[in-house]
Amino acid sequence: MIRLTGIVKRFGENTVLNGVDLDIPEGEVTALIGPSGSGKSTLLRTANLLEIPEAGTLEIGDARIVFAPDRKPPQAEILAMRRRTGMIFQNFQLFPHRSVADNVTEGLVTVWKWSADKARAHAMDLLDKVGMAHKADAWPATLSGGQQQRVAIARAIAASPKLLLCDEPTSALDPELAAEVVEVLGKLAGEGMTMLMATHDLRLADQIAHRVAFLDGGTIVEHGPPEEIFRHPTDPRTIRFVRTLLGTPQAV
């Protein structure tokens, strides 16, 4: 089980996350939805400690960190927790000076100390999984956005993370290219990859998520299966938000 309990994150006087509790069952996909500024991306970034909360607890498997305003976790604890996660960014974040294959092998060689040959063989297997093996020696700048995101997915899962974090993975793509990424993420979900994703793409959430959490004002307002949240929401804020995304001003 991956568990975030009582997570509080502030930027100055602005409380972005206000006591968030969220359980992410292993082998399932949890989608975070909500308006801009609701805390979705910040919650993702606290899950791999790119942002350090002021309060709360983070548990991934048997690793656990308790946060307090007067205590920053030791760097060793932070790095150990990060190694349990992989992250996909909305703008890909590939190394432009590295080939496709080198983007996937970089972390395996430098962080995990794999041999170059072992890392390359593993990278080719992953690139084949995401349909990018034929571009192994290409430069990122020569790829479409959908292709770059598929490479980023291969890189994120290279070290077999316990939790894959996806920050708006389709938002920078046109619908056709987004469909490629949805297909790959759907395949990973079918294989039992544990995922937490922030998205405005209801198609993505509806197709592959087991659970959906609606955030507003730094708190989780409503949480449940996609069919409940998208078709039968109960909180007025969720109803308004889903209607806006679906373009249905009357009934949801």
Q: How many domains does the chain have?
A: 1
> Could you tell me if residue 101 is inside a domain?
no
> Could you tell me if residue 176 is inside a domain?
yes
> Could you tell me if residue 107 is inside a domain?
no
What lies within 8 Å, CB to CB, of 198 at 6+ separation is 31, 32, 33, 40, 41, 43, 44, 166, 167, 168
> Could you tell me if residue 126 is inside a domain?
no
> Could you tell me if residue 138 is inside a domain?
no
pTM of the shown model: 0.93
Range of the domain at 55: 2-89+161-246
> Could you tell me if residue 133 is inside a domain?
no
Q: What per-residue confidence (pLDDT) applies to 141?
A: 97
> Could you tell me if residue 151 is inside a domain?
no
- 230 burial (CB, 10 Å; 0-12 / 13-18 / 19+) is buried
Quick: pLDDT tens for 141-172. 999 999 999 999 999 999 999 999 999 999 88
> Could you tell me if residue 104 is inside a domain?
no
Q: What residue has token string 């690139």? A: 127
Given a cut of 70, the residues of the chain with pLDDT beneath it are: 247-252
